[in-house]
Amino acid sequence: MLSSVLKSETAIRVNITIMRAFVAARQILMGNAGLISRISGVEAKLVDHDRKLDEVFEAMDRGELKSKGLFYNNQEFDAYVFVCNLIRRAKKRIVLVDRYVDEKVLAMMLKRGEGVSVTIYTYDKSKKRC
């Protein structure tokens, strides 16, 4: 404000520089308005997803999901049942790539049909690396 009141050559140059800075800032903001809008939309979606996840975790803490299962879009989703159904529907072979294969996975493979081969690629936990 002082640069606009003073009449010296330096004050005029400072005033012009300040105005150019404000014009450049406005151009940057206007040029990136679409990007800013998209980022705001992504932030809103993340907040909504966080809220939904919090609801699921709170329901789990209250023990509400143990007997009902986990629901997605009003459909019950049970990973164990889903995988067992996939195994039962296999016609020729099953190829499993899983870093954490345990006895439960092997027991599920017993549900495959006759003549269906199983190949499991896993991580050898017993090897120690130095």
Residue 83's contacts (CB-CB under 8 Å, 6 or more residues apart) are 108
115 has a pLDDT exceeding 90: yes
129 has a pLDDT exceeding 60: no
Collapsing DSSP states into helix, strand and coil, what is residue 113?
Answer: coil
CA 23/CA 101 separation, integer angstroms = 61
Extract the tokens encoding 83. Answer: 């995988």
pLDDT at residue number 124: 66
Nearest to 110 by CA among 71, 128, 83, 129: 83
- What percentage of the chain exceeds 70 in pLDDT? 77
pLDDT at residue number 128: 56
Q: Per-residue pLDDT tens for 11-58?
A: 888 888 989 999 999 888 888 888 888 888 899 888 988 888 888 778
Q: How many residues does the chain have?
A: 130
Specify the pTM. 0.38
Nearest to 111 by CA among 95, 89, 130: 89
Collapsing DSSP states into helix, strand and coil, what is residue 121?
Answer: strand
Could you identify the residue written with the tokens 């016609």?
91
Collapsing DSSP states into helix, strand and coil, what is residue 104?
Answer: helix
